[in-house]
Structure 1
């Protein structure tokens, strides 16, 4: 029996005693790798060596990526010892600060390499930036649509390299980003500004730019959501979206970014819980469809990287099967990692039983485990030393990182209406600010030398912040009342830019595509003339004369 397996129980006991001491009992960071590398330096041969040393239960465990319990490693010790998961995904309830996150990451890795076959963990998080950002600390960049509006792939690379530096400092080695969906449905309830835009070529270029920068920064990127979630009007968290478009239309609109991702050899691709009957007539969502994952992604596109499911606790994949069967069907469809199974015991037990019964062949299981192990070797998980919590606190959210986020936001602001040259407002102009983000926009304008008015009456201009006003009568009413004051009205749209189609007669309209602090500051800087707006629409605006590529400057 290899030495790695003989030492595992002792290692687990020592680590459990260490982590039970809490954060204060954490050993100091070391420069020494924590995991025992295979003898071969080649990821292919090394993965095969590791696989040969794994039991069936440990192999199945590598497919599982559950959520965490609590905010410390030791709260998950029993789970690691029993199931040997391939990774974990972090959520806000697990995260309190940089040092805590780094200490937890260290503890989880120590527990994993001290148990079973000693395989380090993929520790992941949804840190797309913008509206989907789980970390309570760090630089906050705008949403992907804002990045697309810059028309600069270097903006995408800056977002990813900065995010990767922060995640790496925290011991997080995987980010469930970038979004490679092409948002062509203005009513999409779940993608929207999470997409770079409506042009497949732009989306693909920016997704690959992000992915390359993540990989260069030591973080595994995940392109999502194959075969495409950009043309849905149902949120797959709450239901099953049906996209009844022809294969020809799908190939023209949704497929190109994923082709670019495959050609770039991206580490991981995530599936979508969407039903596309003209791609696959099985009646199953893409996550459970052999025709979509194995047939199209694997065989037609030639992708041999890791395929992760989207979260298996979402209703889009739980319509027709129990939780154990969902896990089995996902593996049979061609998925390698099962993200967030709602019943971990049921998922592990069902997949193990399916292998023992021959429903899932050992060869099929080994294919997935080998892909996962190759990725872990290729991305240096076996060479990784513990991170330094104190250094993490200094790195995460540094001034340089905050400045990088502000530069991207400044370059993204898109001016779509400027009747009579109402913008920019000169220094000392009186402005009333109301609506979404009013406090932040107003404070930034005041810092830039404008005077804040308590009401619209007598103000030189009224700035109204909106976020999703298309379907919100209250926000529309706020704009209408501002227009009734007689002062010029400038809207700052912080969600998708489609609001302008239902807000007629505006004097000024800025799209920031994001409501994060740097985007609100960027809007103020444009209003005050501190920044010349250079963003360009990454989508068409239905019902208007505004189209992809439009945008005004000063």
Structure 2
């Protein structure tokens, strides 16, 4: 049995070897005046704009939107004219390490040039399927971390992410999601959740946050008061969670209470309706119907619950206000006013800014907020308290020091290049991902595959982007001499247009068949859906031919119990593709580590001599006729098969 050497774990977490150009501990005689003095000298409009955090994801050039990878003259002028509290970056902005470091440096330098306060620069670098850095260490995602059953791995993941963000100058991570994925039908959380168990979510969430904050990068736990028990994506509609306060306090709110008590910097709101917490209605601008205020706009939730009941003193930041669930129903100006009245401190992406033409709407939002304060619709204390929280965080991050750009741009780039996606980070990523892989069944002793000379292993993937990761893992093991080169392998892919006959001949010629299955949503489980139909026909045909098969559930893990005639079942908790630079060599670009990890396990390269160590972080419901049972559980949280040879 082969064993993957454990790398850099407890007691050997990443060294903070960055030389940051912001220093939270540094004390300078030339530092900017105290937070209260800054506030006292700000105009009302400056205070309002300090609570806004827009994005500049794309910019219109010759009639087309292109990704913003460096400051253009238009955006530079906007940053000079508006003293935003921060900006949020997306994948379009952070394509490559040097480019990202230079962009972030330019953003902060522009503030110094304009005599403005430095920016909070945020990003959604959760890991797994929500990953922005184009060249960073991606990590396997929260559900995989939960499957390790070891919060130290979540701390290590946070440590890796924090070190890379710090090196790039990004000072806020909109992560982790501490939502409890207690609804298997959830279309938007899924793999982004650590578990369906609130205790597991709390433990791993706290570990993840601790790891990030070791690098003086702030975090925003999301999506308050819980997005796990929904079956609507709040990017497009308003989900409803019809639970009482007591029900929420005993489940969804437990992880949030844990991170709040640990002084987590920010809590991000959810665009979700909670009818047993909030009763105020507003008329939809879209269709004139009465709509219950979602959490993002709810005083009962953001003030009564967050501030009064849970005694949270940190920053409340909204989820993106340009999401359809909010923007279509309430409009940009009214949304911003309602969110501030409710108790939000930072309004994230209140307006879509893609050209100078969009500034007119931004001006309307700002003026609407100013008018609301002047008319006392929004109390002045509301604005002052928000600005105080924002500036206090900036002070804690070292952003109010005069010498926060003490390194040159080239020095920052050199430092970032040595840290982002480093060999040590990738080695730890590999260890975490391998440790998460979970064995559900192996009753026919199909695993591990130990191919002999002249064996032919057939992989059939659920998407072409999984092919490079599969090949990369095999070739890396061969280079490391942990896998024989005497056997051959083939990788095919099925899709919506596939027929079983496309694979019959290849199956007949194989000694082993590995099939990746991918549950996108509950409809994937239907017998006539290609995501179920094609794999099932492959399993049945291979069984008739006497060929052993392995199912790998690569997306939401609930489809692990949806098939028959398979001989073994593994779960990887992730499916992102990769683009390796050459066979077996570590790629330069960010890549999903889950597929390479599960391929290692298939061939017996595991974190333990006893086999795969992952444990289910969620219940796997019984599936009947393609429908997930709301009451019957096939495999419970904590399950792992011990049938390993």
TM-score normalised over the length of structure 1 = 0.90
Q: Is the 8 A contact 2:237 2:325 kept in 1?
A: yes
Displacement after TM superposition at 1:344 (Å) = 2.9
Q: Which residue of 2 aligns with 1:534?
A: 613
Q: Which residue of 1 aligns with 2:285?
A: none
1:381 aligns with 2:399: yes
Q: Which residue of 2 aligns with 1:491?
A: 551
Please say which of residues 292-301 and 240-249 is displaced more in the overlay.
240-249
State the secondary structure of the residue aligned to 1:377. Answer: helix
State the secondary structure of the residue aligned to 2:634. Answer: coil
CA pair 82-38 structure 1, distance change in 2 beyond 3 A: farther
- Segments of 5+ residues of structure 1 without an aligned counterpart are 1-28
Query: Which protein has the bigger helix share?
Result: 1
Displacement after TM superposition at 1:216 (Å) = 1.3
Q: Deviations over 1:204-247 (max 9, x none)?
A: 11111111221111211110000000011000000100111232
Which of 442, 446, 449 is matched with 1:425 structurally? 449
Please say which of residues 538-547 and 500-509 is displaced more in the overlay.
500-509
Matches within 5 A, 1:389-400: 389-400=413-424
Q: Report the Cα distance in structure 2 between the residues aligned to 1:488 and 1:211, rounded to whole angstroms.
A: 43
Q: Report the Cα distance in structure 2 between the residues aligned to 1:508 and 1:87, rounded to whole angstroms.
A: 49
Displacement after TM superposition at 1:193 (Å) = 0.3
Q: Which residue of 2 aligns with 1:102?
A: 101
Q: Which residue of 2 aligns with 1:3?
A: none
Q: Which residue of 1 aligns with 2:530?
A: 474
CA pair 202-495 structure 1, distance change in 2 beyond 3 A: same
CA pair 349-547 structure 1, distance change in 2 beyond 3 A: same
Displacement after TM superposition at 1:90 (Å) = 0.5
Q: Is the 8 A contact 1:120 1:381 kept in 2?
A: yes
Q: Which residue of 1 aligns with 2:323?
A: 314
- Segments of 5+ residues of structure 2 without an aligned counterpart are 1-18, 60-67, 281-291, 352-360, 492-505, 577-591, 623-632
Q: Is the 8 A contact 2:470 2:595 kept in 1?
A: yes
Displacement after TM superposition at 1:376 (Å) = 0.7
Please say which of residues 51-60 and 188-197 is displaced more in the overlay.
51-60
Q: Which residue of 2 aligns with 1:155?
A: 153
Displacement after TM superposition at 1:46 (Å) = 2.3
State the secondary structure of the residue aligned to 1:424. Answer: coil
Q: Which residue of 1 aligns with 2:507?
A: 456
CA pair 40-288 structure 1, distance change in 2 beyond 3 A: farther
Q: Deviations over 1:78-132 (max 9, x none)?
A: 222222100000112223321111111111112223335x311000111101110
Aligned residues: 522
Displacement after TM superposition at 1:443 (Å) = 4.7
CA pair 493-293 structure 1, distance change in 2 beyond 3 A: same
Q: Which residue of 2 aligns with 1:276?
A: 274
Please say which of residues 263-272 and 318-327 is displaced more in the overlay.
318-327
RMSD: 2.3
Displacement after TM superposition at 1:488 (Å) = 1.9
Q: Report the Cα distance in structure 1 between the residues aligned to 2:489 and 2:598, rounded to whole angstroms.
A: 16
Q: Is the 8 A contact 2:23 2:398 kept in 1?
A: no
Q: Report the Cα distance in structure 1 between the residues aligned to 2:419 and 2:162, rounded to whole angstroms.
A: 11
State the secondary structure of the residue aligned to 2:369. Answer: helix
Matches within 5 A, 1:194-343: 194-282=192-280, 283-342=292-351, 343=361
Q: Deviations over 1:257-303 (max 9, x none)?
A: 00001110000000000001012122200000000010001110000
Q: Deviations over 1:503-532 (max 9, x none)?
A: 233211111111143211111111111112
Q: Report the Cα distance in structure 2 between the residues aligned to 1:439 and 1:94, rounded to whole angstroms.
A: 25
Q: Report the Cα distance in structure 1 between the residues aligned to 2:171 and 2:370, rounded to whole angstroms.
A: 27
CA pair 319-246 structure 1, distance change in 2 beyond 3 A: farther
1:61 aligns with 2:49: yes
Q: Is the 8 A contact 2:456 2:512 kept in 1?
A: yes
Q: Is the 8 A contact 1:167 1:173 kept in 2?
A: yes
Q: Is the 8 A contact 1:57 1:83 kept in 2?
A: no
Q: Is the 8 A contact 1:83 1:348 kept in 2?
A: no
1:349 aligns with 2:367: yes
CA pair 71-346 structure 1, distance change in 2 beyond 3 A: farther
Please say which of residues 77-86 and 397-406 is displaced more in the overlay.
77-86
State the secondary structure of the residue aligned to 1:509. Answer: strand
Q: Is the 8 A contact 1:534 1:552 kept in 2?
A: no
